[in-house]
A = this chain, B = another copy of it.
Amino acid sequence: MARPTPLSGFPEWLPEGRIVEQHVLDVLRRTFELHGFAGIETRAVEPLDQLLRKGETSKEVYVLSRLQEDPQGAPAERGDRLGLHFDLTVPFARYVLENAGRLAFPFRRYQIQKVWRGERPQDGRFREFVQADIDVVGAGELPYHYEVELPLVMAEALGALREIGLPPVRILVNNRKVAEGFYRGLGLEDVEAVLRSIDKLDKIGAGAVAELLVEEAGASAEQARACLELAGISGDDEGVVDRVRALAAVHGVTHELLDTGLEELAALVRAASGRAPGVVVADLKIARGLDYYTGSVYETVLVGHEQLGSICSGGRYDTLASDGSTTYPGVGLSVGVSRLVSRLVGGGLVRATRAVPTAVLVAVADEADRDRSDAVAAALRARGISTEVAPSAAKFGKQIRHADRRGIPFVWFPGQRGDDGAVASDEVKDIRSGDQVPAEASTWEPPTADLHPRVVPAEA
């Protein structure tokens, strides 16, 4: 078999990169559990008709067929066909409906799994990638305070990654009710058309967006200017809300939705400025997602790496799921873990202190004595020290090189029987410094920093 080549869009890591990814996943999991989110996993597949309920995503779905399916048989009904999930929201909504009678609401869950999108891989987009989601879903109702809580949980989770070298994050928030209330109060009824235009602001600039608003959203020049002025407002304190109110007053805009939305936005920036100062920024030009979210909407950028796009997005749905009699509103955010890790590892921002879990390699003086090395290893492992035994009774220099190539910091030498029949003490060598000292497997401990591979900023 010739040497295989990677598949574009399907990232894989060498062991050292996997240590970074695993660390990120462990930190996210720990933070989510600290906040009382229960972990679930859903199957990788959903019926195709469920995956295609939102038409826009249809082209991204991988459809499954069994290799031995009878090609002469009747084509499978769409409802019988299975596709790989392209996010964790659709499966979660299905899981909630399927198990509603056995879950306690509001239900807080986290879910860390791979998702697949059959897109052409480009611009750092993957076809297979890991997402880490948190959501709270209620039965019938879900208080607004969860829209404040969830981005702060994510801020804490991502903040916990700063010690390994993740740049600080900024969570940009907007609120569908503010935008919709402002546009309607201004007399613009085609809210989706306004949002589509505003969404192009960063790409095409204010002048072109103003033209779009006139052409496609039926805005007058003054209405267009008001929309652009709203989009220009941002900040991390309640002054933002005051500026929106002032702008509304200038344009004579009043609308119940606007008032509700501004109260909500004020509560969010107020709580955030206390609990995660500087992290949450209200940014009224955020329009992506406002067409399907119904309240708060979140995007998250790495400060200094804004061109990477949002690494964590989400928002509030009034109807995450519905079974006809009960509606389940939800709010949640999703971290694109693969994109993040790809940036951390590929961008050389972080490294693992070694590529293996092993702290100690026990040398073997003679294959006939392998039992003694095995016994040393067992004694070290019994106290939580990751240990392996040398692959062969090669010269000690070669065994030390074996450890060195893997970054294993310590090599252990079981004491040899001397000519007088007495067995010498075991010794352990720190192969970085060359220091070698007598040691007993039942008591010796490596420095805490060497016990496990650690993930650290690349310059450390």
Contact = CB atoms under 8 A, between A and B. Distances in A.
B392 A34 contact: no
B275 A1 contact: no
Main secondary structure of the interface of A (DSSP, over half): mixed
A14 B357 contact: no
A71 B7 CA distance: 23
Interface in A232-252: none
B36 A356 contact: yes
Contact of A3 (B2, B58, B118, B323): B323
A296 B455 CA distance: 38
Interface stretch (A95-103, A223-231, A282-290, A303-311): A95-103
Contacts of A381: 34-35
Given A38-B355, A357-B38, A3 B61 contact: no
B64 A84 contact: yes
A40 B15 contact: yes
B386 A33 contact: yes
A444 interface: no
Given A15-B40, A391-B143, A374 B22 contact: no
A398 interface: no
Interface of A: 1-7, 10-15, 18-19, 21-22, 33-45, 47-48, 50, 52, 58-68, 82-84, 94-95, 97-100, 102-104, 106, 108-109, 114, 116, 118, 128, 138, 143, 145, 149, 271, 274-275, 321-324, 355-358, 367, 370-371, 374, 378, 381, 384-389, 391-392, 402, 405-406
10 contacts: A2-B323, A4-B94, A4-B98, A12-B95, A15-B38, A39-B357, A59-B66, A62-B65, A68-B118, A145-B367
Given A10-B43, A108-B388, 19 more contacts: A2-B324, A3-B97, A4-B94, A4-B97, A4-B98, A6-B98, A13-B41, A14-B40, A15-B103, A22-B39, A36-B387, A44-B114, A44-B128, A45-B128, A59-B66, A59-B68, A61-B66, A106-B391, A143-B391
A-B CB proximity, top 9 nearest: A36-B388, A36-B358, A66-B118, A33-B357, A10-B43, A15-B38, A59-B68, A61-B67, A62-B64
